[in-house]
Amino acid sequence: QSAPTQPRSVSESPGQSVTISCTGTSSDVGGYNYVSWYQQHPGKAPKLMIYEVTKRPSGVPDRFSGSKSDNTASLTISGLQAEDEADYYCCSYTGNNWVFGGGTKVTVL
């Protein structure tokens, strides 16, 4: 099972928007509406930001949103803030198992 592909890094100024893509196949991202996104700050455990493609857990700012088209899922962060600087990982169901994307470093300029 290959990991879904994510850009290694994205950067943008505060207040702007960034979109992180997670490109898989019809056997994972494209085949199920079970894609989640995790934020990880250095030295910390991952934190759930989006689940089931578009759903946001309570406590996660509505600046974070998720979507999916065909084999590509996306995480958009609107109104970028300094504390959003972190690594982001997508995670997709593959039919009984799961696979993480390679991760994307978001830098707030």
| Closer CB to other proteins, 80 or 89, in the complex | 89
State yes or no: residue 73 binds other proteins (CB under 8 A): no
State yes or no: residue 9 binds other proteins (CB under 8 A): no
Distance CA 15, CA 23 (A): 26
Buried/exposed code over 12-43 (b: 16+ C-beta within 10 A; e: otherwise): beeeeebebbbbbeebbbbebebbbbbbeeee
Q: Which has the closest alpha carbon to 52: 102, 4, 92?
A: 92
| Closer CB to other proteins, 13 or 48, in the complex | 48
Q: In one letter, which amino acid is 36? A: S
Distance CA 19, CA 10 (A): 8
State yes or no: residue 10 binds other proteins (CB under 8 A): no
| Piece of 20-28, 33-41, 65-73, 76-84 that binds other proteins (CB under 8 A) | 33-41
* In the complex, least distance from residue 98 CB atom to other proteins, rounded to whole angstroms: 5
Which residues contact other proteins by CB under 8 A? 1, 3, 34-36, 38, 40, 45-48, 51-52, 57, 87, 89, 91-93, 96-103
